[in-house]
Amino acid sequence: MMFDRPLLRFVPRGTKINFMRGRFIGLATSAVLSIASLILFFHPGLTLGLDFRGGIVVEARTQGPADFNVIRAALASEHVSAAGVQSFGGPDDVLIRLDTPPDSEPDHEARTQAMVDSVRHAIATLPGAQVLRADAVGASVSKELFRNGMLALGISLLMILAYIWFRFEWEFAVSAVVTLVLDLTKAIGFLVITHFEFDLVMVAAILTILGYSTNDKVVVYDRVRENLRKYRTMPLAELIDLSINETLSRTLGTSCTVFLAALPLALFGGASLSGFAWVMLFGIVVGTSSSIFIAAPLLLLMGEKRLRRDARPPTRP
């Protein structure tokens, strides 16, 4: 039968790559990237999306290429000032951004809502133009959404830590969570560089890549634990290398399928989903490599004394 046997093979059978030899290079690269990301996080910082920044965003489609001056004039006649008008997607799509009044002012919520209506009225005066989307988020709501988003992130990390701790020894849990935090900083750096807006959907994307990354680490750790029982005297470095090599073709296979699933979304998913999908793609690459180059060396550093008390000293190559 023509589909009986696999036509292609991902990783040659029985690889023996010495990953642990490069552990310091891996850790150092990761540290540099994460520190760079942290610097980027503080300066210039994330581009906050509407959910977390608050404000008004109106997306409109004009008949024919958008003329910004006409749009600004229409807005001005409705007494909307200080609006940012920019192109978006196609030549006939425009994005109008407004800041909400500060929440120290009375009636700021009502005024925010009135501003959206004014923008709508302004667009209605342009022939053939239509509003595609109009969002207005008040200052109090955006603060709350931000807090909830961060809470979800923090609690997920804690739950992952608790679960791995419960299922494995604590060395595994700590190195997994440290790796996840490093992954997280890199994802933030990626967001800063790409100027993707950080909003609730991005929090979901980040949580998904954290979930994926954990999943990947659990598979490698699972094999390490199995091999710890199987090879009672093998030095830990050698044992971790063996475990990574044994699971390598699964690690790469799964990364590939998830990558392939997300790729069309990044390329054709439309404005609202492509940012999400690009972060996913980045996260898949980072999460997969960090399982091998960060989580495993960390486990080696932390577990060398504890996990392998009776082992013979590691042989220097």
Residue 276: which of 266, 284, 268 has the closest Cα? 266
The region of 64-72, 190-198, 276-284, 307-315 touching another protein under the rule CB under 8 A is: 276-284
Interactions with another protein, residue window 219-238 (CB under 8 A): 219, 222-223, 226
**Residue from the set 84, 117, 125, 230 that interacts with another protein by CB under 8 A:** 117
**Residue from the set 46, 75, 164, 182 that interacts with another protein by CB under 8 A:** 164
Full 3-state SS string of the chain: CCCCCCCCCCCCCCCCCCHHHHHHHHHHHHHHHHHHHHHHHHCCCCCECHHHHCEEEEEEECCCCCCHHHHHHHHHHCCCCCCEEEECCCCCEEEEEECCCCCCCCCHHHHHHHHHHHHHHHHHCCCCCEEEEEEEECHHHHHHHHHHHHHHHHHHHHHHHHHHHHHCCHHHHHHHHHHHHHHHHHHHHHHHHHCCCECHHHHHHHHHHHHHHHHHHHHHHHHHHHHHHHCCCCCHHHHHHHHHHHHHHHHHHHHHHHHHHHHHHHHHCCHHHHHHHHHHHHHHHHHHHHHHHHHHHHHHHHHCCCCCCCCCCCCCC
**Residue from the set 14, 102, 313, 317 that interacts with another protein by CB under 8 A:** 14
133 or 306: whose CB is closer to another protein? Answer: 133
Q: How far is CA 270 from CA 69, 104, 275, in A?
A: 27, 37, 9
Whether 68 contacts 98, CB under 8 Å: no
Examine residue 170 and tell whether it contacts another protein (CB under 8 A).
no
Examine residue 214 and tell whether it contacts another protein (CB under 8 A).
yes
40 or 96: whose CB is closer to another protein? Answer: 96
Examine residue 105 and tell whether it contacts another protein (CB under 8 A).
no
Examine residue 207 and tell whether it contacts another protein (CB under 8 A).
yes
Smallest distance from another protein to CB 11, Å: 9
Examine residue 82 and tell whether it contacts another protein (CB under 8 A).
no
Smallest distance from another protein to CB 106, Å: 11
104 or 315: whose CB is closer to another protein? Answer: 104
Interactions with another protein, residue window 30-49 (CB under 8 A): none
Interactions with another protein, residue window 143-162 (CB under 8 A): 145, 148-149, 151-152, 155-156, 159-160
Interactions with another protein, residue window 233-272 (CB under 8 A): 246-247, 249-250, 253-254, 256-265, 267-270, 272
Smallest distance from another protein to CB 87, Å: 16
**Residue from the set 46, 74, 218, 299 that interacts with another protein by CB under 8 A:** 218
Examine residue 163 and tell whether it contacts another protein (CB under 8 A).
yes
Examine residue 200 and tell whether it contacts another protein (CB under 8 A).
yes
Examine residue 174 and tell whether it contacts another protein (CB under 8 A).
no
